Each structure stands twice: as C-alpha cells, then as structure tokens.
Amino acid sequence: MTTTSMNPGVRWAPVRASVWEAELDGGHAGAIERTVRGRFVALDSAGRALGSYPSFVSAKERVAAELAGQTEAKRASLGDVLLAVLATVVGIGSIGVAASALTSLGALTLR
C-alpha cells in the first residue's frame, strides 16, 4: 500500500517488511529502514543516513525536511542563474564583467 506524506508530492511504498521507499516525481527520494531494536533510520536519496528516530513519523519528517532543503537549494541556484542571464541580456556594459558573469553561470550550473 502506498501512502502520502507531509509533502503531497512524496509517496511512501513498502519495499520489504522493514523498509519503505519515498518516491517523488517517479524517482527515488529517500527511504526509511526499521532496525531490529525498533528504531527508524531515515536515508536520503543517495542512501546516506540522516539519523535514527523513535517513530516512523519522525523519520518521515526528517526525509521531508531533507527534500525541502534540496528544493530550496535548487531554487536559489535557479535564481542565481536567472540574475546572471538577465544581466547579460540587459547589457552589462563591460566585456570583463560579462565574461565574469558567464563564468559564474557555468559554475552555478555545475553545483
């Protein structure tokens, strides 16, 4: 049975008796694994442990916070890129500044 979480785009699906997978936009977004001691380990989308929690709900909240942080970081990067593009389109007035902006744009897209 698949369930929704605090984030309406995230769906949780049981994979095994003690493992649940978070799915977002059709891709793997994280997981929760129940330990033999009854704790719940939250994992990010790369499988890195985010912490151990006493309940499934608190582990889900941690995964949701991680996803929210990733979304916020993507928004910030997009904002930087848009500002650089806008400055270039409007006309910066200096080839050196334009070259610097293009270099920054390249660096921003590699994050």
pLDDT digits (tens, 9 = 90+) for 40-99: 999 999 999 999 999 999 999 999 888 886 654 455 455 565 555 555 555 545 555 555
Q: Is residue 22's pLDDT more than 60?
A: yes
Name the token pair of 100. Answer: 């610097």
Position 10 scores a pLDDT of 86
**What is the pTM assigned to this prediction?**
0.58
Residues 41 and 32 sit within 8 Å (Cβ to Cβ): yes
Backbone region of residue 55 per phi and psi (left: phi > 0; alpha: psi in -120 to 50; beta: other values): beta
H/E stretch holding 16 reads strand 10-16
